[in-house]
Copies of this chain bind each other. A is one copy, B any other.
Amino acid sequence: MAGYKRYRKDSDVSYALGITLTFELLKFKPEYVTRIFIHSAMKEGETLEQLSELCSERRIEMLYTDKIFHVLSQKENCYVIGEFRKFSCTLNKDFSHIVLVNPSNAGNMGTIMRSALGFGLNQMAVIRPAVDVFDPKVIRASMGAFFSTEFVYYDSFEEYREKFGERELYPFMLQAKKSLHEISPTGVFSLIFGNEATGLSEAFLDVGTTVIIPHTDRIDSLNLPIAASIAMYEATKGGFNS
């Protein structure tokens, strides 16, 4: 058996670290699961039995080894790891989207997925250059929302716009024309957010309706997952699909 390696962007597989995430993986993406690793410190009991049953039903191999945990997990209480093949997703024209332009932080992306799923939004376009969506840090920060999210990469915003431009587009930026208070989308929409440090470029001033979340001048900006979550909260106020 080959030694275990750290996760890399060009790996064919990624990992759900921890029992909770592994259950989410088995529930929502069972067809992609390759192996489940169990640490020797994992206690016998109901949870392990439930996991074993799911794995035998689906003929998924369970491996008892501590080695991979040393390589993949910094957390102390991670005793189960779910390995899965990377999958591809599609976005749907009939659903609203989150568009992340050049996101650079894996934790932020996962946190946004969690909020998005909470507001009935599970379709995400990611404009390159961007953080690797399959990074286990994204999955962990998403608290499992990752496995219920459809995400597709585009090389440019124009590429995304050609496919999905026929909808309400809301770029969020400090130079925006409208306040979030004034916005109430009536149809399918896309909420567009820029990079953590640089925001959206001025080119977005000509895209759809630019929006700002009003705040005092005592801070430079809200942090990205918070701005995105406030925007999603407001945009879905009329009701969301649960």
Contact = CB atoms under 8 A, between A and B. Distances in A.
24 contacts: A114-B219, A114-B223, A115-B219, A115-B222, A115-B223, A115-B226, A117-B216, A117-B218, A117-B219, A118-B218, A119-B215, A119-B216, A120-B216, A122-B218, A145-B218, A148-B218, A181-B237, A217-B242, A218-B242, A226-B226, A226-B229, A229-B229, A230-B230, A233-B233
Interface of A: 111, 114-115, 117-120, 122, 143, 145, 148, 181, 213, 215-220, 222-223, 225-226, 229-230, 233-234, 237, 240-242
Number of copies: 2
Contacts of A240: 216
Given A115-B219, A229-B229, 11 more contacts: A115-B222, A115-B226, A118-B218, A118-B219, A120-B216, A143-B219, A145-B218, A145-B219, A226-B229, A229-B230, A233-B233
Nearest to A230: B233
